[in-house]
Amino acid sequence: MPIFEYQCGTCGHRFETLVLKTDEIVKCPACGDSNCVKLISLCFSARSGSTFTTSGASCGTPKGGFS
């Protein structure tokens, strides 16, 4: 699923949203303005064990007990 991270240029709110079309207008859920900029998100992949690499296999924020 194409979930992207944005930041509102008006109020500064950071949020994630599902974008189905490349020409879709994204509006800030906090203030409703469409002055939003797509952010570059950190991508990571995990292997079994405790070794992690930063390849493009899986994008997003680690969940669970990672710090």
Q: How far apart are CA 38 and CA 3, in angstroms?
A: 11
| Domains of the chain by start residue, with CATH | 3-59 (2.20.28)
pTM for the whole structure: 0.59
Q: How far is CA 63 from the centre of its chain?
A: 14
Q: What pLDDT digit, counting tens, does each position of 28-64 carry?
A: 999 999 999 999 877 655 666 655 555 544 455 444 4
User: Residue 41's pLDDT is what?
Assistant: 72
- Give yes or no for residue 12 having a pLDDT over 70: yes
Q: Which of 50, 46, 28, 47 is nearest to 37 (CA)?
A: 28
User: Residue 26's pLDDT is what?
Assistant: 94
Q: What is the mean pLDDT of residues 19-36?
A: 93
- 33-52 in b/e form (b: 16+ CB < 10 A) is eeebeeeeeeebeeeeeeee
What is the torsion angle, in degrees rounded to the nearest 10, for the CA atoms of residue 21, residue 25, residue 31 and residue 36? 90
